Structure formats: C-alpha cells, structure tokens
C-alpha cells in the first residue's frame, strides 16, 4: 500500500531505497555523440549527412505547424532511426545573439491566462556551453494577479544574478498557487521555452522556494519530479498541500521523494512553520532513508537571514546532486492517470480505481525489466538507446510473471514527439512499450 503523510513510520521501513547513479557522461567526438549500440558505418553516414540547421529549426519550432513541418523534413532526410537519434543527440546550434541580463516575459495559456516570469541570463553567456538553471519560487501567493513590471517577490534581482547559471523567477497569485494544476503546467512550460533558446544543462535544473514557494517545491517533489535535479524548500511546510482550505487537499506519497534529494531549511522560532512542526516529517524522511539535508536555524524566524551563511553548503549540495536521466530503478505512486503519473522513463497509464493510489516499482538490468505493480492496470516504459540494446529482445516481468518477451521497434515519430514534449537533450526515447498488467 502507498504511504501517505499520516502513515506510520514502521510502514516506511520496508521501502526499497532507489540507488543513486552518477550522471551518464557522454563522450563527444567531432560534435557527434557515439552510442555503443550503433555500428561505425552508421555513425559515419550520420556524420556525413548531419544537417545542423534542420535539427536547430526543429528544436526551436514553437507553433504546431512549424513543429509538424520540421518533423516531416527530419524524417524525410534521415535514412533510419539510428541516424535521426544521432542527429538529435548531436544537438541544435544555439545562437549567441540572444537576450542577456534581466529579462521579463510571460506565457499565455490556451485560456488567455498570462503567467509572467523574470529570467536572468549571465552577461558572459556562451552558447557553446550548457548552463545550470535554478527556479526560485516566491512566497505570499494569496495576493491579486501580478501586472507587468517584474516586481513579484523582489523589486530588484541583482542579488540573484550569477554568471555560472540561469535563474528563473516565475509569478504566483491567488488563482495560481504553486501547487495548483495551472502552475504544474506552467513551470515546465517556462523551462521548455527557455531550453529552445538557451543552452541548458538538463540534468542540473533545481527548484528552490521560500515560504509558500517552499511549499511549492514540496509539491513538485511529491507530484512531478521528472524535470528537476533537486528540491530546496525554505521555511515552507508540506502539510499545507494536504489542507483542503489551501487547495485541492492532495494525498502525498513518500515513495515519490525517493526520486530526488531535498535541502530543507526551517527556523526554530518561525511563527508559521517552526522546526517543531516539521520534525515529524523529517523523522519519516530519516526512517525511509530518503536523501535529504535538514537545517534547523537556531532562533530563526520566518525569514532568510540565514541564507548567506548557508549558501556554500547549498551550492555544494547542487553540485553533488545532478539528475540521473536513466536510473536503473524507479518507483512512483499516483492516484491520477491523467497527470502526476510519470517518473522519467516510467509512466502509469491506468489505475484499478481512479482516485485511489497505484504504486509501481521498476528495476532494469540490461534489456530486462522487473516490475512490481499494485492497483496499476496499464503502464508505459519509455526506452532509449542509452538503456536498451534494440538489436536484442526486451524482457518485462510484472509481479513475478513474464509479460513481454520480444524485440521492440524504434520509431521516428515516437522519438520526435517526446523531444517536443520534454525539450530535454538528456531524455531521448526511441520507443514506448505500453503494457497491460493483466492482459
């Protein structure tokens, strides 16, 4: 059974800790990433016909018409899926002539809602290197919608500017708390938009938040972690997410926190969320061996006066915790199949009872996948040449029973569609294996 915030500690003790793997380092030769599953002749052919302009046009395409046109051109030009994968893995050519410094923008949703955000690009930005990204979520979300001017949370952003990273400061308000569905869509959309223009290190994107922003960081850690490397909730509280008066009143599952590390800070004398109020939560993290750092600020209030002293440890924490895009073990719990149902290359497609938690654990060794599924009817494994040798059979065992044995065909449409969905240079999938638990 899935473990919620009000579950007993002894239930947590049986959780299997997901091992953390070092980020896979790709060896680049002549601007071409070489995968051991591709023959030398295929690599040479890909290198000879590689069209950087075509890949760049596809990567930067924003309208549906532009995307479909670019897809057709790429598929017409590439002789096979292996070649297309190599082209995309080699990457687009990011422009050097882009906006630098403090910039203000806004996403406009399909219903006309405007989601403003400020982003800070290093003045020394170099398009040939990739940059970490830090999202900073402000507090005080129970306020009217923000107008133009970039004044949410701070009036000046000089203290946030760094030459070694890109910083993003989105806006929240009383109709768009950080833990509402519209923000669950908004933050990844902002990230994808920036990835189309700037060279971003996909495995070093972190989510920090202060007060309500800290609670928002907890929300993404519990519900939607795929895009992020680590979460840093400051002077927030996960219990807010369970309160129906503060929003939907979510069920929270600690298994999902096994996917990413957390750096948590609270003040002893904080009148809203003192250390004493969050200690039961921290105890469960400790019992479950969930990767986290907890800093209790002596005499600390509801402020960030401690931040300058803590900053060196925070920066080291980020350096020590890049995202592993292809871990050999994944676990996820969801009570919805329409959203909050994915963890990297695993997605729960159908639950036994919608609204009730389904839990799934997957471990991989080579081409063999072992799945444990409880209250899950259907799921998808997203497969990549980084994981799987497609020249060999794939084996999937579910709840002790062989469910699939056979070769999986790679598909150009699958690859390109997932590139558009994620805009993530580290998450390229060439096949999607969808299975029913009890066919």
pLDDT at 15 over 60: no
Q: 67 with 101, same domain?
A: no
**Token pair in block for residue 263:** 């750096």
Domain boundary among 90, 111, 136: 90
pLDDT band at 149 (very low <50, low <70, confident <90, very high): low
Contact 321, 229 (CB under 8 A): yes
pLDDT tens string 333-376: 999 999 999 999 999 999 999 999 999 999 999 999 999 999 99
Q: 113 with 220, same domain?
A: yes
Q: What pLDDT score does 32 carry?
A: 32
Q: 347 with 316, same domain?
A: no
Q: What pLDDT score does 50 carry?
A: 64
Q: Indicate the average pLDDT of the chain.
A: 89
User: For the chain, how far is it from start to end, CA to CA, in angstroms?
Assistant: 23
Q: 76 with 149, same domain?
A: no
Q: Residues 141-152: what's their mean pLDDT?
A: 78
Which backbone phi and psi does 372 adopt, to 5 degrees?
Answer: -115, 120
Q: 242 with 144, same domain?
A: yes
With respect to residue 18, please indicate whether it lies within any of the assigned structural domains.
no
List Cα–Cα distances, 95 to 56, 69, 129, 200, in angstroms: 10, 21, 12, 13
Q: 113 with 218, same domain?
A: yes
Q: What pLDDT score does 153 carry?
A: 65
Percent with pLDDT over 70 in the chain: 87
Please write down the HEC assignment for all residues of 114-180: EEEEEEEECCCCCCCCCEEEEEEECCCCCCCCCCCCCCCCCCCCHHHCCCCCEEEEECCECCECCCC
With respect to residue 14, please indicate whether it lies within any of the assigned structural domains.
no
CATH number at residue 226: 3.40.50.1820
Q: 123 with 217, same domain?
A: yes
Q: Residues 152-164: what's their mean pLDDT?
A: 82
With respect to residue 25, please indicate whether it lies within any of the assigned structural domains.
no
With respect to residue 367, please indicate whether it lies within any of the assigned structural domains.
yes
Query: Tokens 């915030």 correspond to what residue?
Result: 5
Q: What pLDDT score does 159 carry?
A: 87
Q: What pLDDT score does 33 carry?
A: 36
With respect to residue 75, please indicate whether it lies within any of the assigned structural domains.
yes
Q: Residues 305-312: what's their mean pLDDT?
A: 96
The Cα 55–Cα 179 span in angstroms is 35
With respect to residue 387, please indicate whether it lies within any of the assigned structural domains.
yes
Q: Residues 92-111: what's their mean pLDDT?
A: 94
With respect to residue 114, please indicate whether it lies within any of the assigned structural domains.
yes
Q: What pLDDT score does 150 carry?
A: 61
Which backbone phi and psi does 5 adopt, to 5 degrees?
Answer: -65, -25
pLDDT at 17 over 60: no
Q: Residues 61-88: what's their mean pLDDT?
A: 96
For residues 48 and 356, the model is more confident at 356
| Lowest mean pLDDT segment, chosen from 22-36, 99-113, 371-385 | 22-36
pLDDT at 27 over 80: no
Domain boundary among 286, 320, 354: 320
Q: 52 with 170, same domain?
A: no
Q: 240 with 139, same domain?
A: yes
Helix, strand and coil in the chain, % to nearest 5:
30, 25, 45
**Structure letter (DSSP) for residue 355:** T
Q: What pLDDT score does 156 carry?
A: 73
pLDDT tens string 208-267: 999 999 999 999 999 999 999 999 999 999 999 999 988 899 999 999 999 899 999 999
Q: 235 with 105, same domain?
A: yes
pLDDT band at 49 (very low <50, low <70, confident <90, very high): low
Domain boundary among 290, 320, 350: 320
| Lowest mean pLDDT segment, chosen from 46-55, 94-103, 336-345 | 46-55
Overall number of domains in the chain = 3
Q: Residues 271-275: what's their mean pLDDT?
A: 97
With respect to residue 173, please indicate whether it lies within any of the assigned structural domains.
yes
Q: 175 with 253, same domain?
A: yes
Domain, as residue range, for 254: 95-320
pLDDT at 80 over 60: yes
Q: Residues 364-392: what's their mean pLDDT?
A: 98
pLDDT band at 22 (very low <50, low <70, confident <90, very high): very low
Q: What pLDDT score does 411 carry?
A: 97
Q: 108 with 213, same domain?
A: yes
């Amino acid at each position: 059974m899935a473990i919620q915030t009000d579950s007993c500690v002894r239930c947590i003790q049986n959780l299997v800790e997901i091992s953390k793997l070092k980020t896979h380092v790709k060896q680049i030769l002549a601007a071409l990433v070489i995968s051991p599953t591709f023959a030398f002749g295929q690599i040479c052919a890909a290198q000879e016909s590689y069209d950087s302009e075509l890949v760049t046009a596809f990567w930067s395409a924003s309208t549906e018409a532009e995307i479909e046109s670019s897809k057709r051109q790429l598929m017409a030009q590439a002789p096979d899926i292996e070649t297309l994968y190599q082209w995309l893995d080699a990457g687009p050519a990011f422009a050097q002539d882009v906006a630098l410094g403090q910039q203000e923008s806004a996403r406009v949703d399909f219903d006309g809602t405007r989601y403003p955000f400020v982003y800070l690009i290093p003045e020394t930005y170099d398009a040939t290197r990739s940059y970490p990204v830090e999202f900073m979520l402000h507090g005080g979300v129970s306020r009217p919608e923000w107008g133009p001017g970039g004044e949410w949370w701070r009036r000046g952003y000089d203290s946030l500017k760094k030459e070694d990273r890109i910083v993003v400061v989105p806006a929240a308000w009383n109709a768009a708390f950080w833990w509402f569905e519209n923000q669950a869509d908004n933050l990844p959309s902002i990230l994808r938009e920036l990835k189309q223009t700037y060279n971003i290190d996909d495995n070093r994107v972190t989510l920090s938040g202060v007060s309500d922003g800290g609670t928002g960081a907890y929300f993404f850690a519990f519900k939607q972690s795929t895009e992020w490397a680590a979460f840093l909730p400051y002077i927030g509280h996960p219990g807010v997410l369970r309160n129906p008066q503060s929003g939907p009143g979510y069920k929270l599952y600690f298994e999902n926190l096994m996917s990413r590390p957390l750096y948590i800070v609270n003040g002893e004398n904080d009148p809203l969320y003192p250390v004493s109020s969050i200690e039961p939560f921290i105890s469960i993290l400790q019992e479950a061996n969930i990767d986290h750092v907890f800093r209790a600020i002596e005499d600390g209030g509801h402020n960030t006066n401690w931040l300058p002293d803590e900053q060196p440890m925070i920066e080291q924490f980020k350096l020590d915790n890049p995202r592993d895009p292809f871990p050999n073990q994944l676990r996820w719990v969801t009570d919805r199949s329409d959203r909050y149902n994915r963890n990297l290359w695993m997605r729960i497609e159908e639950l036994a009872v919608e609204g009730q938690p389904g839990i799934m654990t997957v471990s991989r060794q080579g081409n063999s996948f072992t799945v444990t599924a409880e209250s899950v009817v259907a799921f998808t494994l997203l497969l990549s040449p980084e994981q799987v040798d497609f020249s060999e059979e794939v084996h999937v065992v579910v709840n002790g029973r062989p469910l699939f044995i056979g070769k999986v065909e790679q598909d150009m449409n699958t690859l390109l569609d997932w590139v558009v969905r994620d805009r993530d240079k580290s998450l390229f999938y060439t096949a999607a294996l969808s299975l029913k638990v009890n066919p």
